[in-house]
Chains A and B, each alone.
Chain A
C-alpha cells in the first residue's frame, strides 16, 4: 500500500510541478513565520527574528531546492535545466559547437548513407515474390584458353531444348532488356522495355492492376503476338490513367500492338526501369528464333517445389552437356550453368566499390569518435574550475556528471539529426548515379543495381539506428568525460587554478588521439589520391577510337541467305544501304564492339620466332578502322578483294608489334600458320576494348567474313536520332537479318567510366572530411596547449618575441604531434593501397608521389591549424595574461 501511496505522490508532484512548487513555497513561508514568532516571543526584535528564522531553515532557496531534489519529478526538471544549460554553453562557444556537430554530422551521415546503399544493393530482399527461389541461367561459351568459359545469353532453340528437358524449375522465362521505339501521335519515343515470356510475370509474382498478362498462345512462335503490357508510369503519362486503355492500339517498333494489361507501380521488371513489355517471340524475327547461334536472350526461372539451388545447378550443368551434343559448335564445347539471384545480384565491380566505401565510412566514424573525445576532454579541462566550484558549493557529484552527459547527449543527438539529413540528401544523389554506374551487362549477367536502387531511401529503421548510435556515443563520451572530471579532480582545482589542473591531464592521451586521427586521415587521403590519379589516367589515356557520333548494332545475318549468297556480300549490301542514309559518314563491320564486349583471343608466332604471344583476335571489314577512328601507323587497311578472296592477311596493333615482334618488322615478318603464313599488311594504333581500366592488349585483326557481328556507323549529328533509320535500312537489306538494339558508343563509354568517377568522388569527399576532422582535432589540442602556456607566451612577448616566432613554436609542436601520425598513417596506407590495387588503372599502389603529396597536405593543414590559437593568444595583453593566474 505504501508503494501506491508513494507512487501517487510522485505522479502528482511530477505532473503538476508548478502547483507543487507553489505548495512548498507556501509551506516554507509558513514555517519561517512560525519560527519568527517563536523568536519574538523569546525576546528578539522582529527584524533579527525573521533573519535568524530564515538562516535556521538554511536559506529558503536552498531548502526549497533540497526539497525539490528529493522529489521524484526532479530528474525531468533537472534534465530540462541541464538541456537549457548545455544549449546556452554551446551557443556561448559557437566554434566548439560547430566543430563537434560538424564532426558528428559528417561521420554519422557518411555511415548512414553508405549503410543505406549497401543494404539496398547487397542485403535487402529483391522486390519479387520469394526471391530466394529465383535463378538465372546462362550458356557457357568456351574461350581461347582451355577450360576458360564465359557466361553467354541463350538462343531460342537452345532455350526450348532446356525448357523441355529440365525438371528443376516450376517455370522459366526469357528476358531481354530492350530499347523500344513507340510511335505516338506526336512522334517516336525510345522507351526502356523488356522482351519476356508469358510466364515472366507469374514467375516474379507480379499481377497486372488492369487487364491481363500474355497468354500461352501469344507466347508461341507465329502466334498472335502483337500485344503489349504497359507500366503504371507509362499508363499515367501517355494514357491519362484511363481504365478503358485495354484493347487500344499502340505502334511499337513500327507495328500495331494491342494493349492488354497495365502493371502496378511497384513493378518495373528485372531491368528496374521497364516501361512496357512485349512477348519475346514478337521482338525476334523468324531468323533469330530458329538460329541456334542467335544468342541474345537471358533466361530466368523459379525453382520447382522440392528442388534446391544446388540440385538445379547440377541438373543445368548436365543439360549443358546434352545441349552441346544437340547443337555442336566449332568454337569448342559449350555448357550451361544456373545461378541464384543473390550470386548475380550486383556486378563484382560495384560490390567491390561498396565494400571499399564501407571501410572508408568506418574510418571516418573512427576519426569522428577520436575527434569528439579530444574536443570534449579539452573543453572539460578548461571548465574544471567551474566544476570544482560547483562541487565545493554542494552540488552532488552525480549531478555534475549528469550535466556533462546531458551536454554530450545533446551534441550527439543534434549531430545525428544533421547527419541523417545529409545522408538523405547523399542517398538521393547516389540513387540516381549508381544505376548509371552499373557497367554494361556482359554475357548473360543480370544486374539488379537499378532494381535495388529504384526506391532507395534512408529508412525509418536506419534513422532509429543512427539515433541509437548517437545516444550510445553521447553516453559513452559523457561517461568518459564525467569520470575524468569528477574522479581525478577535487578541490585541488580551486587551489591550483586552471592551468595546473589541465597540465596534469595526461597529455600523451590527447597527443595519441591526435596522432591516430592524423594517421587515419593519411590512409584515406592516400586511397582517394590513388583513385583520383587512376580516374585521371583512365580519362586521359586515348581510347584508340572516337566515340562521338558512333553507333553500333549487333546483327545476325539471315541464315537462309548466308547459305545462298555469302556473308561477305550480305554485309556489303547492309553497309551500302546504311551508308546511303543522309547524315551517315562511314559504315563498317566487325565481330567485336569496343567497351563491354568479350572477344576472342589466340596465340601467334611470327615466322622465325621461338615463343608464341597471346593476342586478341578480331575480325573486321576494310572500312572498320576508318569508322572507329583508329589511326593507321604503317602499312594499309584490308581491301575488299582480300576479304572476298579469303586472303591470309592480318593487321596488328602497336602493342602486338612491340611485345611479340620486338625488333623485327611485322610488315616483313609474317605470322606462322597452316597451310601458309599470314601476311601482316598494316599496323594500327592501340585501342582499349573490354575493360577501359586496363592497358590496351596486343591485338590481331583479320578480314571479317562471319554471319554474326556488329555494324558500326559514324554519323554527323545526334546519334540517337539515327537508330530507327539504321534499323529500317538493315530490314530493307534483308527482313531475315536479326538485329539487337542500336547502341550509342558515347553512352556506353559514359556508363563504363561512371563507376570509377563515382568511387573517386566519394573517396575524395571522405578524404576531405578526414583531413578537415584531423585539422580540427589538432587545432583543439593546440588551442589548449597555447592556453596552458599563455603565461609563458606573455613573458616571451614581453621580452620581444613577435607572432611569427611564437607561431614557429606552436607549429613545431603541431608538426611533432602530426609527424608521428603521418608516418604511422603511411605505414597503414600500404596494405590499404594494395587492397584497392585491382580497381586502379595505370597507378602503382605504392606511388611515392601520392604519399609525399599527402604528407605535404597534412603538414600544411597542421601549420594552418596552429595559426588561430597563436593569433588569439597574441590579442591578449601580456600583462593580463601574466596576472591571470
Chain B
C-alpha cells in the first residue's frame, strides 16, 4: 500500500474481468486480486462494484459460474469465460487498442 493506487479507467472493468477469466477460471475475490497483480499494483478494483459486473456479464451470457473446490479444499464460486465472452473480449481489445492509439497520437502532437 506504499504507492497510491489509481482507480480503474472508467468503463474498463468489464473488459479486464473478461481478460482475467480468459487466462483461467477464477472466483470473485481472485479476479479483483488478479487484476491488481497483473497491473503491477497500478489499479485497485473497487470490490463493491465487482459483483454487480459479474452478474451483468452472466446476464449477457459472456460468463458462466459454477461452484468448485478451491485450493484449500473449500468451495468457491468460479467464473468461466464463454465462447461469446471470448468473442466479446477480442472485440473490446480491438476497440481499446484503437482508442489508445488515437489518444496517443493526439497527446504526442507537438504544439
Contacts and interface: CB of A to CB of B under 8 A. Distances in A.
B28 interface: yes
Contacts of A4: 61
A27, A42, A69, most chain B CB atoms within 10 A = A27
Interface residues of B, number: 29
A30 interface: yes
Interface in B1-60: 1, 27-30, 33, 46-49, 51-52, 55-56, 58-60
B61 A67 contact: no
A71 B76 CA distance: 20
A6, A57, A67, A69, most chain B CB atoms within 10 A = A6
Contact of A27 (B46, B51, B52): B51
Given A1-B61, A5-B84, A30 B51 contact: no
B77 A23 contact: yes
Contacts of A10: 59
A58 interface: yes
B29 A35 contact: yes
A90 B27 CA distance: 45
Given A58-B47, A66-B48, A2 B84 contact: yes
Contacts of A72: 59
A34 B29 contact: yes
Nearest to B54: A67
Interface residues of A, number: 32
Nearest to B33: A38
B52 A66 contact: yes
Given A4-B61, A6-B60, A30-B29, A66 B51 contact: yes
Given A27-B77, A30-B27, A3 B61 contact: yes
Contacts of A42: 1
A35 B47 contact: yes
B47 A2 contact: no
A72 B77 CA distance: 19
A35 B74 CA distance: 15
B29 A31 contact: yes
B84 A1 contact: yes
B28 A9 contact: no
A63 B29 contact: no
A1 B60 CA distance: 10
A9 B61 contact: yes
A309 to B, nearest CB: 63
Interface in A1-56: 1-7, 9-10, 23-24, 26-28, 30-31, 34-35, 38, 42, 56
A3 B64 CA distance: 12
Contacts of B58: 6, 9
A19 to B, nearest CB: 12
A62 interface: yes
A69 B52 contact: yes
B51 A67 contact: yes
Nearest to A9: B58
B109 to A, nearest CB: 40
Nearest to B56: A70
A58 B32 CA distance: 14
A2, A63, A67, most chain B CB atoms within 10 A = A2
Nearest to A26: B77
A321 to B, nearest CB: 83
A62 B48 contact: yes
Contacts of B27: 27, 30-31, 34
A58 B48 contact: yes
Contacts of B76: 27, 30
B83 A6 contact: no
Contacts of B77: 23, 26-27, 30
A556 to B, nearest CB: 88
A34 B29 CA distance: 7
Contacts of B1: 42
Nearest to B58: A9
Contacts of A26: 75, 77
A30 B74 contact: yes
A32 to B, nearest CB: 8
Contacts of B46: 58
Interface in A723-757: none
B51 A63 contact: yes
A28 B30 CA distance: 12
B82 A31 contact: no
A284 to B, nearest CB: 83
Contacts of A6: 58-61
A2 B28 contact: no
Contacts of B83: 1
A2 B60 contact: yes
A69 B56 CA distance: 10
A1 B84 CA distance: 7
A58 to B, nearest CB: 3
Given A2-B61, A70-B55, A63 B48 contact: yes
A5 B64 contact: yes
A57 B64 contact: no
B48 A9 contact: no
Nearest to A8: B61
A3 to B, nearest CB: 6
Given A23-B77, A30-B27, A5 B82 contact: yes
A67 B55 contact: yes
A99 to B, nearest CB: 42
B28, B47, B75, B85, most chain A CB atoms within 10 A = B47
A70 B59 contact: yes
A27 B55 contact: no
A66 B2 CA distance: 31
Contacts of A70: 52, 55-56, 59
Interface string B58-77: 11111010000000001111
Contacts of A31: 27-29, 47, 51
Nearest to B64: A5
Nearest to A28: B51
B17 to A, nearest CB: 14
Nearest to A69: B52
B95 to A, nearest CB: 18
A348 to B, nearest CB: 65
A512 B98 CA distance: 60
A30 B77 CA distance: 9
A71 B77 CA distance: 17
Contacts of B64: 5, 9
A2 B77 CA distance: 20
B51 to A, nearest CB: 5
Contacts of A63: 47-48, 51-52
A58 B46 CA distance: 9
A69 B49 CA distance: 12
Nearest to B84: A2
Contacts of A30: 27-29, 74-77
Contacts of B30: 34
Nearest to A24: B51
Contacts of A69: 52
A72 B61 CA distance: 13
Contacts of A66: 48-49, 51-52
Contacts of B62: 2
Interface string A59-101: 1001100110111100000000000000000000000000000
Contacts of A27: 27-28, 51, 76-77
B55, B82, B88, most chain A CB atoms within 10 A = B55
Nearest to A38: B33
A69 B46 CA distance: 18
A4, A5, A35, most chain B CB atoms within 10 A = A5
Can you list the 5 inter-chain pairs with the closest CB atoms, starting with the nearest?
A58-B48, A2-B61, A2-B84, A5-B61, A6-B61
16 contacts: A1-B61, A1-B83, A2-B82, A5-B64, A6-B60, A9-B61, A27-B76, A30-B76, A31-B27, A31-B47, A56-B47, A62-B48, A63-B47, A63-B52, A67-B55, A70-B55
Given A2-B88, A30-B29, A35-B47, 16 more contacts: A1-B61, A1-B84, A2-B61, A2-B82, A2-B85, A6-B58, A6-B60, A9-B58, A9-B61, A27-B51, A30-B28, A30-B77, A31-B28, A34-B30, A42-B1, A63-B47
